[in-house]
Structure 1
């Protein structure tokens, strides 16, 4: 087995184990120990640090992966590529830090409801951003070297275990909240230092600058690509982070904390799409290379059915059992996010039902339009949050996410149809939605039994049995059985 296959297998195992740890951490452990306002602070700090680091990096993490093959030369220390990869982003960090410090009064004014909580940790946001930046650059360097499993382990597993330990110590009274926040920043910084030590251990920590690096590829070309990547990356970061930031500003840190938990609960719907994306991305690229649009269209339809099947089941399973999920959190105030969860589930479900339209665009000859879609989605998300958060609070943020996801997926689906005459829908999608509606209605009709846990088991069992039975009675059974056989064989 080659290094790429080995690293890929390890990454898959680490990713799914990390998803489980992440769910326990962010949905059960942290909200059990932290009040919504405290949870909101950590969410806002993490969002600030992520955007701060993205702006500082100037797209150089993506640039590193794209252009490293031209610099690869182990005997000559890759012509000083690592100092170049780190140098401009660190200069960018210095510039952004000056702006960040000068902007402190404005930022605290934006978060006037919780300025007393954010103020003491404002400078620590810069520290967290620095280590976030260094981690992303080193991670990109390791990806270029085909060493991806260790950095995935640090991010997906070790970091979440350390955060769980810190949260447990805070919950048991061994740490004050101030010490918890510093420890939270500390463990995020620690994994960056561990990654640096790993680079040294494998003999790839080459920090001495050389003039040779300027002769391999024109620096202007690298910077231009970085600028393009920055626009794409920052739009994605805004989409993921801006709702929490704006909710904390327009409403309160408490609402931001409740919303963060609602967002984490709904994230389960992303798992099938992420798993499929690992397969779909290279396969679609190959279809484009061969100009085999017929097979691509067939793949588009079949994967859309599978995503719709999984998405409907997960959305109904979560939505019908929210009482049980929130009962696992010992703080009832987080249940105020129930409506937000349902809205977020609806948005993610629509995203699933419209299939791999985004991957088709980004692998197509018209891939630059993906940047337009990402920027449009980021702008729409910001505008909708501005309009909906003031009157509706955290439900407004969730509704903004739903409307933005629906709009961008309608636009992408239309673009693929107009450009390449491919669309993912047929009568079987209607069958899936019908089966989901019948199974969901039957499970919802079950009365509350003597305990929430027993009710959850009965609803989940009825939903799964009836949904599966209805689907297996349709032509979809061939796709589903083939997928199950393929999955079983691959294991």
Structure 2
């Protein structure tokens, strides 16, 4: 896994930096510099835009990855890349016209519970549009195995800009209205920079000639819209539906809890930047042995990293809450349930890449749509009854079900699964550490308590993994350091 591990390592560093900035924004700047209502408004705008994104891309970001490596002819490749740029316009133009003529209708629907949302229909559309073409250009660079800069733009750039804007709000240099306009501008600027970088790697010829397999491409893209929409619905529909049922400040509270749990996805997001195009290449070359090897390694590596992050979050959550405003404290069950779904996602390894880049993508798309419907129904039932915790339960049930189906489907079609005896070893180790350290607390300042407990748990975890030699990647990283220390002694 040379190129995979190298770029995953670089992407992990970048993603952790991005999430570090995001943590400062989410846990401290937003909660202290904006009112609860305005923070809730930002959460609704971004969540709704994210729901639009897979629709506006026309599935092109996945289509680009699946088909790009199959083209050997330069003229066909040019025609394909040009089609990738034009295809989303089939949805974007009609959607823009609908938004223009039905702005009031859309605003009334979004503002059924919270009137503050009504005036921000175009903000949502423009952010969704910027997100969509950004993902297309991000896939453009990923097929060239150049994912680190794109990952920086995705994870760091936007959050850093927003942090600066929030500081400007705090010092009354700009108002909240200007902040919300600038928020849209940040996403547009991020798109333009990504476009420039993508074209620097491969400038499209802007050909109006269609590639020979354009029918297969369009069919795949149209179906991938369903899959992409289903995936985003599973992730974002809870915040969107909370806006329809509870006061907008509660959306902010829920958003904070979800962000804390989402830190667990950092290694997955980093690894998938490179495993996604690599999986497509292995499938196109019909290299099943390497695909099986990548499947198991990606699952084990992600479980090792995501599992310890989940454990550190849960064991330090009470200390973290002490650093936040009183209104945002609580929601431990939300963090636990959403966090557990992220660990389950990590266990899948590159399952999603295998399914979406294989000939079996249609079946999994249908399953995804059915589960998206399930999560909407569960939210409809559970949010009115249990509020924020109901939304968390709905997400957990739907995603756990979907993941079980995906693992079973990959096994039925490819006769391989991501688990091994090492997976069980890691699970047992996490459970033992969780049981041991749940009752261990220190009486220092919360930041010191979090750091001290995290360091102790992490050192024990890494040492046991090293001794058991659970993962060759982990062993190869830790081994040189331990050997240096032993020589010094």
TM-score range, shorter chain: 0.7 to 0.9
Cα gap change, 1:364 to 1:179, in 2 (>3 Å): closer
Cα gap change, 1:221 to 1:440, in 2 (>3 Å): closer
What residue is the counterpart of 2:487 in the other structure? none
CA contact (8 A) 2:258 2:338 kept: yes
The match for 2:260 among 244, 262, 265 is 265
CA contact (8 A) 2:59 2:221 kept: yes
2: CA distance, partners of 1:441 / 1:217? 59
1: CA distance, partners of 2:8 / 2:423? 32
- Matched residue of 2:172: which SS? coil
2: CA distance, partners of 1:483 / 1:426? 21
What residue is the counterpart of 1:20 in the other structure? 20
How far 1:201 sits from its partner (Å)?
A: 7.7
How far 1:255 sits from its partner (Å)?
A: 2.0
CA contact (8 A) 1:61 1:136 kept: yes
Mapping of 1:280-319 within 5 angstroms? 280-281=275-276, 282=278, 286=282, 289=285, 292=288, 300-301=295-296, 303-319=298-314
How far 1:472 sits from its partner (Å)?
A: 5.2
CA contact (8 A) 1:440 1:463 kept: no
How far 1:460 sits from its partner (Å)?
A: 2.4
- Matched residue of 2:331: which SS? helix
2: CA distance, partners of 1:412 / 1:46? 28
The match for 2:228 among 228, 233, 241 is 233
> TM-score scaled by structure 2?
0.81
- Matched residue of 1:323: which SS? helix
Cα gap change, 1:77 to 1:425, in 2 (>3 Å): closer
Note if 1:223 corresponds to 2:218: yes
Note if 1:47 corresponds to 2:41: no
Aligned-residue CA RMSD (Å): 4.1
What residue is the counterpart of 2:174 in the other structure? 175
2: CA distance, partners of 1:432 / 1:201? 43
Note if 1:347 corresponds to 2:346: no
Cα gap change, 1:474 to 1:50, in 2 (>3 Å): closer
- Farther off after superposition, 224-233 or 20-29: 20-29
> TM-score scaled by structure 1?
0.81
How far 1:166 sits from its partner (Å)?
A: 0.6
How far 1:313 sits from its partner (Å)?
A: 1.7
CA contact (8 A) 1:77 1:206 kept: no
What residue is the counterpart of 2:134 in the other structure? 135
Note if 1:374 corresponds to 2:365: no
2: CA distance, partners of 1:145 / 1:466? 39
2: CA distance, partners of 1:89 / 1:362? 19
1: CA distance, partners of 2:467 / 2:280? 31
What residue is the counterpart of 1:444 in the other structure? 438
Cα gap change, 1:128 to 1:427, in 2 (>3 Å): closer
1: CA distance, partners of 2:472 / 2:135? 42
Mapping of 1:110-125 within 5 angstroms? 110-115=110-115, 117-125=116-124
- Matched residue of 2:329: which SS? helix
CA contact (8 A) 2:300 2:422 kept: yes
What residue is the counterpart of 2:486 in the other structure? none
How far 1:73 sits from its partner (Å)?
A: 5.6
Mapping of 1:189-208 within 5 angstroms? 189-195=188-194, 204=203
What residue is the counterpart of 2:237 in the other structure? 242
Cα gap change, 1:110 to 1:73, in 2 (>3 Å): same
What residue is the counterpart of 1:90 in the other structure? 89
CA contact (8 A) 2:300 2:471 kept: no
1: CA distance, partners of 2:8 / 2:401? 33
Instruction: Show CA shifts across 1:167-187 (max 9, x none).
Output: 111122222211211111122
Cα gap change, 1:154 to 1:114, in 2 (>3 Å): same
Cα gap change, 1:81 to 1:345, in 2 (>3 Å): closer
Give the aligned length.
478
1: CA distance, partners of 2:81 / 2:300? 44
Cα gap change, 1:120 to 1:357, in 2 (>3 Å): closer
What residue is the counterpart of 2:396 in the other structure? 402
- Farther off after superposition, 84-93 or 380-389: 84-93
Question: For structure 1, which runs of at least 5 residues remain unmatched after alignment?
Answer: none
CA contact (8 A) 2:60 2:136 kept: yes
